Amino acid sequence: MKNVIDVKHLTKSYKSNKAVDDLSFAVKEGEILGLLGPNGSGKSTTMNCILSLLKFEAGEIKIFGKEMAPDAYDIKTKIGVVFQDVAVFDELTVYGNIDYFCGLYIEDKAMRAQYVEDALKLVGLEENKSQYPKQLSGGLLRRLNIACGIAHKPKLIFLDEPTVAVDPQSRNNILEGIKKLREDGATVVYTTHYMEEVEILCDRVIILDHGKIIASGTNDELKALAKIEEKVTIEIPDLAPEKLAGFDKIKNVSEVEYDNGILKIVYRKGKNNLIDMMEYLKENKIHYNKIFSERPTLNDVFLELTGKELRD
């Protein structure tokens, strides 16, 4: 597969702060790339530089094999952008909004009408096309925002936190729509703080922090970086303090946390940990309701790599 985006040695500073520091990566044709990072990691700056919305002091950016620039309109007509903040016109209907944004790229009226209908169908707004934005719920408004950004059938789509503050039904609709866009040939750059969405959608993931790539690869490749081998959760309504202390001494146990009747145990290594745990519970006559084990998640890896401290 050829590269749709090529970023080489990109550097962007705000005064003495390097928001993006000698960054290089590529996005392959037809893939969904997850661009992740905590607040202040450089995600937004990187995206804005790629889109030529920001000037940068060093580096090279090519899209579809051509150098990107503010006046590269032949490239920009092939790009769709959906920012986190909803940007639609309150005085236009759902159909009117999509038609307006599509009309910025598609002059032919018959073609544009078909494209608008396709966009309505993709986001599930066919029955809402005569409504105005103020009449829509938050989830429907997000879906309208996406439709406006992709109605002209771009080959490259940037989606910045498209599912923020939406209900599960709208989130599912949006994720299914993104999959459909890829099936139709689009390449997608996707940013989110919801790691489960990344695991569902993304073919490859880049994690940024302090303007640098600290990890990249498929979901499975990133999970292999986790220092956690296994996590066990046990529902124990009443666990005596003296029995709780004994869990720290079990082989391979790294962390033990007990709160509101839920015991969480982290193993850093080892096999058959759950079997050993069951034997310990039986030997010590500790009664439990539920127990389950899980492998490291992408969220575990993200927190290990970027830290658990709060970011502004």
Q: Do 203 and 238 fall into the same domain?
A: no
Chain centroid to CA 182: how far? 15
Instruction: Mark whether 142 and 35 lie in a shared domain.
Output: yes
What is the pTM assigned to this prediction? 0.89
Ramachandran region, residue 59 (left: φ > 0; alpha: ψ -120 to 50; beta: rest) = left
Q: What is the pLDDT of residue 270?
A: 79
How many domains, the chain?
2
Query: What are the C-alpha distances in Å from 256 to residues 221, 239, 259, 311?
Result: 27, 13, 10, 26
Query: What CATH number is associated with residue 247?
Result: 3.30.70.100
186 & 118 share domain: yes
d(CA 255, CA 214) in angstroms, rounded, equals 25
**235 and 217 inside one domain:** no
User: Is 300 inside any structural domain?
Assistant: no
**Same domain (yes/no): 67, 186:** yes
| Alpha-carbon distances, residue 167 vs 141, 164, 249, 287 (angstroms) | 12, 9, 43, 37
First to last CA, the chain: 38
The size of the chain, in residues, is 312
Residue 311 counted as domain residue: no
* Last residue in a domain, options 172, 192, 223: 223
90: domain CATH number is: 3.40.50.300
Residues near 172 by Cβ (< 8 Å), separated by ≥ 6? none
220 contacts: CB under 8 Å, gap ≥ 6: none
Shared domain for 133 and 79, answered yes or no, is yes
Q: Which domain holds residue 199?
A: 3-223
Tens-digit pLDDT string for the chain (312 aa): 799 999 999 999 998 899 999 999 999 999 999 999 999 999 999 999 999 999 999 999 999 999 999 999 999 999 999 999 999 999 999 999 999 999 999 999 999 999 999 999 999 999 999 999 999 999 999 999 999 999 999 999 999 999 998 889 999 999 999 999 999 999 999 999 999 999 999 999 999 999 999 999 999 999 989 888 899 999 999 999 989 999 999 989 999 999 999 999 999 887 778 888 999 999 999 999 999 999 889 999 999 999 878 776
The Cα 209–Cα 305 span in angstroms is 9
b/e sequence 10-40, b meaning 16+ C-beta within 10 Å: bbbeeeeebbbbebebebeebbbbbbbbbeb
Listed residues 163, 191, 223: the one ending a domain? 223
Does 25 share its domain with 53?
yes
Considering the domain boundaries, does residue 253 fall inside one? yes
The confidence score (pLDDT) of residue 312 equals 67
3 — phi, psi (to 5°)?
-80, 130
- Do 149 and 276 reside in the same domain of the chain? no
- Residue 101 and residue 16 share a domain: yes
* Residue 280 within a domain: yes
